[in-house]
Amino acid sequence: MIAEELITDKGVSAGDEWITVAAPRLREALAALKEDGYRLLVFLSCVDHLADSSREWPARFELLYELRDMEKLRDLRVRAFVDGDPPQIDSVHGHPALTRILMPDDWVGHPLRRDYPVGGEPVEFSEEHETWLTPPTEA
Amino acid sequence: MSIEDTTGQGVTITQSGQQGAFGGELLTINFGPHHPSTHGVLRLIVDLDGEKVKRVKPVIGYLHTGIEKQMEALRWQQGVVCTDRHDYLSPPINNLAYALAVERLMGVEVPPRAQALRVIMSELTRLSSHLVWLGTSGIELGAMSVLMYCFRERDTIMDMNEEISGFRMHTSYIRPGGVMADATPRFFDLLAKFLREMPGHIDEYEDLLTMNPIWRARTIGIGRLAPEVAKVVGASGPMIRGSGIAWDLRKVMPYSGYENYDFEVATNDGCDCYARYLVRIQEMRESVKILAQAVDRLPDGPVNVDDRKMLPPPREELETSMEAVIHHFKLFTEGYSVPPGDVYVAVESGRGENGCYISSDGTHKPRRVKFRSASFVNLQALERMALDHMVADLVAIIGTADTVLGDVDR
């Protein structure tokens, strides 16, 4: 089982078990959980808690690793909180081919952040599109 | 050395300079995104040694529609229409994942009749999704006539969708709190006729393909996915069951009352394209079984939760009750709010585990919605299945992986 000192918080949300681990020790925690039987990463995602007043958040970005033990039929959500610009997490250090997955490689900005406007991006191959491709710092 | 040559068919050939096993150079080509067999806009960067596939790198995002972002700007009840559109071959199943997630956060459970109607719509959708898969896969491997048979039955399912929800494809029928409306008598007539005829139709598809020497030559032993590899890459649905692992969320983590139905989990130990074909055929038969049971045992009663804070009051109440008018007004101007927290609900779609993760900050719009799509994860197995096969087999392998690009890119 995962060492207690790695877990900074734990609980149950709407029936789903979760734990929070310290971001710098995420790799260690996930390795221990994999050893423990949680061998399937169901999904990896991130929630941006910018201006989220529903409760106190340790940092702006919450990373989520939904793990599953297919033998014992149990799920566990591992949370890690990161801040900074750009925010960095241990689990991608040393990744051989870190790249954008869905957005084009030359896209400026991160659309799933809360400060990125919905409908803010002009239609591609239109005149406005050229101005959008200029980073805000250079515009 | 690098020679670029556009062949006029959307294929760019680059000679990379690497040596292949037969002394020739490895060719790097773009397979797609406009290739007709890539089911939409999947682009593969393929290294070829002669006709042999040596590397496959999927490049995705060509159908990225920002649905998850869009849902953050929509109220809880409006988000349903977005869930229809990411995996466009199984809208009601995606509705169900979203609806179950919202209901879990709100702590409500829908009445038994709504649960059974949800099962009926899910299974009809699984059938129509498998029919599209079977028809298009047939065409890709040269069995042209299968498509006509499959789309004939798919059209009757579309008719039922239209009857029950008013919309043939993007039904938005399953909603948080229940379903759109109760099914009409005509829907049950259509369904009864469909259930009588469908087993015979599935036999027809099997007559066309199962013992067809060309179909067998093109699929048996092609695209081997070992069970341990299937587990490692996180494959689900017919992909993992075609590798002999009886993993079906309807059985292992039942939702919406699936534990009450008697059905088998279709598996096959073949691990190849043919095994995945047999699994899907078997699943269609099981779906018909589930549908028959659901119709038989359909409970009476309401199809929505009785909660005025979540669903609008009946039309007739608006004329007599001030409170109903207030609820109606609040619901359509502001929507309802969902308690803070997060939840992940997974359902079994035609392609595998389609899950919905929702994080709520207690307002009337979601903080974050994420879809865990089976197509996206199953695509990871592509290179391992396609290695050392011919280019033509790559088409069969993409076909039996049954990816929907709208689901991959969301």
Question: Per residue in B50-79, pLDDT tens?
Answer: 888 888 888 888 888 888 888 988 999 888
Kindly tell me if the per-residue pLDDT of B2 is higher than 60: no
Under the banding of pLDDT at 50, 70 and 90, the label for residue B23 is low
Kindly tell me if the per-residue pLDDT of B9 is higher than 60: no
Kindly tell me if the per-residue pLDDT of B13 is higher than 60: no
CATH 1.10.645.10 occupies which residues in chain B? 67-305+337-409
Structure token pair of residue B26: 């490895």
Is A53 an interface residue toward B (CB < 8 Å)? yes
The CATH homologous superfamily of the domain defined by B67-305+337-409: Cytochrome-c3 Hydrogenase, chain B (1.10.645.10)
Nearest residue in chain A measured CA to CA from B370: A45
Q: What is the pLDDT of residue B311?
A: 86
Lowest mean pLDDT among A43-52, A130-139, B300-309, B346-355: A130-139
pTM of this structure: 0.88
Kindly tell me if the per-residue pLDDT of B11 is higher than 60: no
Lowest mean pLDDT among A6-10, B102-106, B293-297: A6-10
Residue B125 C-alpha, separation from nearest chain A C-alpha, in angstroms: 23
Q: What is the pLDDT of residue A108?
A: 81
| Residues of B at the A interface, defined by Cβ within 8 angstroms | 60-61, 64, 66, 68-70, 72-73, 104-105, 107, 231, 234, 247, 252-253, 340-344, 346, 353, 355, 357, 359-363, 367-368, 370, 372, 409-410
Is A11 an interface residue toward B (CB < 8 Å)? no
Q: Which residues contact residue B115 at a Cβ distance below 8 angstroms, ignoring those fewer than 6 apart?
A: B256, B257
Q: Where are the alpha helices (DSSP H) in B35-174?
A: 67-72, 80-86, 91-106, 112-140, 146-165
Q: What is the pLDDT of residue B6?
A: 42
What is the average per-residue pLDDT within B233-253? 90
**Residue B138 near residue B130, CB atoms below 8 Å:** no
Nearest residue in chain A measured CA to CA from B229: A40
Give, in words, the CATH class of A4-94.
Answer: alpha beta
Chain center to CA of B354: 7
Q: What percent of chain B has pLDDT over 90?
A: 35
CATH 3.30.460.80 occupies which residues in chain A? 4-94
pLDDT, mean over chain B? 87
C-alpha distances out from residue B193 to B121, B157, B160, B186, B299, Å = 16, 11, 11, 11, 20
Minimal Cβ distance to A70: which of B69, B247, B355: B247
Q: What is the pLDDT of residue B186?
A: 93
Minimal Cβ distance to B61: which of A48, A75, A102: A102
Kindly tell me if the per-residue pLDDT of A27 is higher than 90: no
Nearest residue in chain B measured CA to CA from A97: B57
Under the banding of pLDDT at 50, 70 and 90, the label for residue B199 is very high
Question: Per residue in B77-92, pLDDT tens?
Answer: 888 998 988 888 889 9
Kindly tell me if the per-residue pLDDT of A28 is higher than 70: yes
Q: What is the pLDDT of residue B398?
A: 87
For residues B406 and B287, the model is more confident at: B287
Kindly tell me if the per-residue pLDDT of B8 is higher than 50: no
